[in-house]
Amino acid sequence: MSIDYKAEIERLKKDLDVTVVAHYYQRDEVFEMADITGDSLELARKCKADENPWVVFCGVGFMGQSVKVIAPEKRVLMPKIACCAMARMIDGSYFDDSVNYMVEHGIAKEDILPITYINSDASVKAKVGEMGGYVCTSSNAFKIIEKGLETGKKILFVPDRCLGQNFAIKMGLKSCVIGEGECDPKEADVICFNGFCSVHQLFTVDDIEFYRNKYPGIKIAVHPECDPAVVQAADFAGSTSQLIKYVNELDPEQKVAIGTEYNLVNRMRQKNTYVLSSTKPECPTMNETTLEDLYNTLKSIEDNKPINEIHVDEHTVKYANLALERMLAIK
Ligand code: 13P
Ligand code: SF4
């Protein structure tokens, strides 16, 4: 007999002290089952405030890890321990190499303030925390960089070169990318690691021109993980929640093309809303989680044999927590 996953998930949620969490990029059928939804910043804040001892997190690895770091007493399970491709581009040793690069180019270690995008492993967040740095998300990067600049130090921004450059441009700061052309840390305010999101790289200035030619007057809204040339050409750039708000506040007759992950854009799609790409910009790892995976994970709690539990060692929790809490303290 086949299992009615939706009905079983509802039953398990009632029977267990569990909160199901989903990022906006999850498949619709998984997203609909969640008690808590949001973008990265909202999820971090809401999970911290949530009181259930069990969290089942539908998203990518760094998100589940972040909950464990913020609330180590919670048991955090992930239906799929799927990894964000950008987060995989940097580990502790690449982070150390970036710090060394700056030191070799005349910046003392004490004069470096690292900021890591939340899309990074807990081990990278811990290194950032140990150096007095911050985590940021695409919602609050402006405020966090502003806060970092108050220290008078050089900002080392990891791992997303696009986010780092986009906010530097917005704030009128000089930036450079390690390994890309001349990158002299003495000449720049924000020194970026050379990581990127393969999904958001799919959007191009040609796509923008295509839509503007086809629908004169159309608005273009993109995520700041897109290339700086795309962000500069767009009408609006913002995090997932900021994009949703922007589109909701437009006149219903206003056409808009959106450059971010497909599941989210598809959910927002109305008659005047388009995906800014001729290909389907799905995040492959966000798409891995299925209803069956969610059911199996909840059932494993009921059966007292939890699967896919997130563990983070004590040292990493201690220092990654510093970097995350410094971010959460900034309103
Ligand atoms: P948000 O901070 O907008 O949720 O972005 C997360 C992400 O992975 C974007 O690709
Ligand atoms: Fe990571 Fe990009 Fe997927 Fe976001 S869309 S989770 S940055 S790979």
116 lines ligand 1 (CB under 6 A): no
Give the position of tokens 């969490």: 21
Residue ranges per structural domain of the chain:
5-83+286-312, 87-197, 200-275
The stretch 289-306 carries a mean pLDDT of 98
260 lines ligand 1 (CB under 6 A): no
Indicate the length of the chain as a whole number: 331
230's CB contacts (< 8 A; 6+ apart) are 203, 204, 205, 208, 222, 259
**pLDDT, tens digit (0-9, with 9 covering 90-100), for 127-178:** 999 999 999 999 999 999 999 999 999 999 999 999 999 999 999 999 999 9
Give the position of tokens 């009615």: 4
Alpha carbons 285 and 80: distance in angstroms, whole number: 9
CA of 67 to the centre of ligand 1 (A): 16
265 lines ligand 2 (CB under 6 A): no
Q: Is residue 145 a contact partner of residue 178, using CB atoms and an 8 Å limit?
A: no
Q: Which of 283, 287, 288 to mutate to test the pocket of ligand 2 (most atoms within 8 A of CB)?
A: 283
* CATH superfamily, region 5-83+286-312: NadA-like (3.40.50.10800)
**pLDDT, tens digit (0-9, with 9 covering 90-100), for 90-120:** 999 999 999 999 999 999 999 999 999 999 9
> Six-digit token pair at 101?
């690069």
CB atoms within 10 A of CB 242: 17
119 lines ligand 2 (CB under 6 A): yes
In CATH, 87-197 is 3.40.50: yes
Per cent of the chain over pLDDT 70 is 100
Per cent of the chain over pLDDT 90 is 95
CA of 84 to the centre of ligand 2 (A): 5
Main-chain dihedrals φ then ψ at residue 192, nearest 5 degrees: -105, 145
> Six-digit token pair at 256?
């808009």
CA of 109 to the centre of ligand 1 (A): 30
**pLDDT of the residue at 158:** 98
Give the position of tokens 């970036």: 98
137 lines ligand 1 (CB under 6 A): yes
For the chain, the average pLDDT equals 96
Q: Is residue 59 a contact partner of residue 78, using CB atoms and an 8 Å limit?
A: yes
Alpha carbons 289 and 55: distance in angstroms, whole number: 15
For 331, half-sphere exposure in the C-beta direction (CA atoms, 13 angstrom radius) is 0
Fold of 200-275: Rossmann fold (3.40.50)
- Is the pLDDT at 125 greater than 80, yes or no? yes
Q: What is the pTM of this model?
A: 0.96
The stretch 199-203 carries a mean pLDDT of 97
pLDDT band of residue 270 (cuts 50, 70, 90) is: confident
Same fold, 5-83+286-312 and 200-275: yes
